[in-house]
Amino acid sequence: MTRAPRTPTALDSLLAGTLHYGTVMASAIIGLGVAMGLTGSGSGGRQLANLRAEDIVTAGIALFILLPVLRVVLMLISFLRERDYLLSVIAGVVLTIILLGFAVGSRMASAIAG
Amino acid sequence: MNSGLVAWLFTVSFGASALGGMLGMAGGIFIVPILALFGHLSIRTAIGASIVSVIACSCGSAAPLLRARLTNIRLAIVLETATTIGALSGVLVSNVIPTSYLFFLFAVVLWLSAQQMAARRGDPAVASPAPAGRWAAALRVDSSYPDRAMGHDLPYRVQRLPLGMLLMYGAGFISALLGIGSGVLKIPAMDTALRLPIKVSSATSNFMIGVTAAASAGAYFMRGDIVPAVAGPVALGSVAGAVVGARILMRLSNEGLRILFIVVLVVLGAQMFLQALGVQSLRPL
């Protein structure tokens, strides 16, 4: 029961590249924000084009959270192109559940605020 | 931002993630107790920061595993339906559960992890050729992976998918509630239920952790539980630690480290248990 070694599929490589460069980018943004927060005077730290250090860190964190979402979107597109409708539906379900998570969180936030 | 706090958060996350990475686990299981017990942050702030670092570690370490063809992405997306629904349930429960219960549950998970680490993992013995599962066949999740020692691809079949899905639901639930990668439930799911080769199960579980954590992190982000001044340095430290940990993994003999880990898990579990009972076991820093 052996098979010839196969090379990574196009999808494997696409996901690997996306996750790798996404991690580098998100880390760099958070690093910039943290550095600004540490070097500036006062409690808020330096500002960059009206953005507070904390806003930049928040943007980096948001990018990290969106990376796996992007990964599911890429998989969904790839399954649709292969006409693999069963897996496309499954990827769509996963995407819906994640977005539901965002919705549930903001409902909770407004419940706390109200 | 306070430079002392930033340095402390970075160092703790770096250490937790590097040590975790050496044994192939995420650092969240150490980060949450250390932040809550020694950093005197609220456990919800610690969980919010940790869940971001779990995503960061999963995304940061995925690329080489994908390129080595160890990650089964079809199986991952199928199992992610269960882990994300579990995560969503965890988010809903986290809204109503008292803090002391979170400490107690965390203590139990730490002790179970210690027990798991004490028992060695091996490749599950599979009757060859294994019978094809009905669900696995319909979803075409059976695959093969490159075996270095034998120099060719080894095929494998995914067994007992419904049981695996059930355990994955639990893993997603615990992951969201406690802000961890939840290997404690994923390992039995992958080894005992699905019977995957160990390299495939590690790579696939690491790949799934990011999506699972995104479902709960999205909710915590919107709810305002993710404090950037804490989560930022923790994410940076975790990514750096995971890179270093993965490098060391290839060179180090793990026996001494394993025993150290078991001791740390048991001690942290005891501290979390005392905290759950309301015993102030630690002096403030």
Q: Tens-of-pLDDT digits for all 285 residues of chain B?
A: 788 999 999 999 999 988 877 766 778 889 999 999 999 899 999 999 999 999 999 998 889 889 989 899 999 999 999 999 999 999 999 989 999 999 999 999 999 988 888 886 666 665 555 677 778 888 888 888 887 766 788 888 888 899 999 999 999 999 999 999 887 778 778 878 888 888 888 889 889 999 999 999 999 999 999 999 999 999 999 999 988 877 776 555 567 777 888 888 899 999 999 989 886 545 444
CA distances B102 to B115, B216, B282, B283, Å, are 20, 16, 18, 21
Element (H, E) at A63: helix A53-81
| Residue A98 to chain B, least CA–CA distance (Å) | 4
- Amino acid in position B77: I
| Rounded average pLDDT over A88-94 | 97
| Residue B133 to chain A, least CA–CA distance (Å) | 17
Residue A52 has pLDDT above 50, yes or no: yes
| Residue B146 to chain A, least CA–CA distance (Å) | 7
| Residue B221 to chain A, least CA–CA distance (Å) | 7
Count Cβ atoms within 10 A of the Cβ of residue B250 and give its class: 0-12 exposed, 13-18 middle, 19 or more buried. exposed
Mutate to test the interface with B, among A63, A71, A106 (most CBs of B within 10 A): A71
**Predicted local distance difference test score (pLDDT) of residue B149:** 67
Element (H, E) at A47: strand A47-48
Q: Angle between the B43-67 and A53-81 helix axes, to the nearest 10 degrees?
A: 40
**Predicted local distance difference test score (pLDDT) of residue B127:** 53
Beta strands in B106-205 (DSSP E): 143-147, 152-156
Residue A3 has pLDDT above 50, yes or no: no
**Predicted local distance difference test score (pLDDT) of residue A110:** 86
**Predicted local distance difference test score (pLDDT) of residue A1:** 41
Using the Cβ of A51 and the Cβ atoms of chain B, whether some distance falls under 8 Å is answered with no
Rounded to the nearest 10°, the torsion over CA B50, B263, B124, B64 is 40
Using the Cβ of B253 and the Cβ atoms of chain A, whether some distance falls under 8 Å is answered with no
* Cβ <8 Å between B84 and A101: yes
A residues 30-49 near B, CB within 8 Å?
30-31, 33-34, 37-38, 45
DSSP label at residue B193: I
Q: Which residues of A touch B223 (CB under 8 A)?
A: 105-106, 108-109, 112
Backbone angles phi, psi at B183, to 5 degrees: -60, -25
Lowest mean pLDDT among A85-89, A97-101, B15-19, B218-222: B15-19
Residue of B nearest to A68 (CA): B211
Sign of CA dihedral B75, B57, B189, A73: negative
Q: Closest Cα partner for B31 from B237, B212, B255?
A: B237
Long-range pairs for B272-279: beta carbons < 8 A, 24 or more residues apart: B272/B33, B272/B36, B272/B37, B272/B103, B272/B104, B272/B106, B272/B107, B272/B110, B273/B103, B273/B104, B273/B107, B275/B36, B275/B37, B275/B100, B275/B103, B276/B100, B276/B101, B276/B103, B276/B104, B276/B107, B277/B100, B278/B100
Query: In whole angstroms, what is the distance from residue A36 CA to residue B35 CA?
Result: 23
Q: Which residues of A touch B84 (CB under 8 A)?
A: 94, 97-98, 101
| Residue A44 to chain B, least CA–CA distance (Å) | 7
**Predicted local distance difference test score (pLDDT) of residue A8:** 77
Task: State pLDDT tens for residues A33-49.
Answer: 999 998 875 455 566 66
B residues 163-202 near A, CB within 8 Å?
none
Q: Which of B59, B226, B231 sits opposite A68 (nearest CB)?
A: B59
**Predicted local distance difference test score (pLDDT) of residue B197:** 86
CA distances B231 to B52, B57, B188, B284, Å, are 7, 13, 30, 21
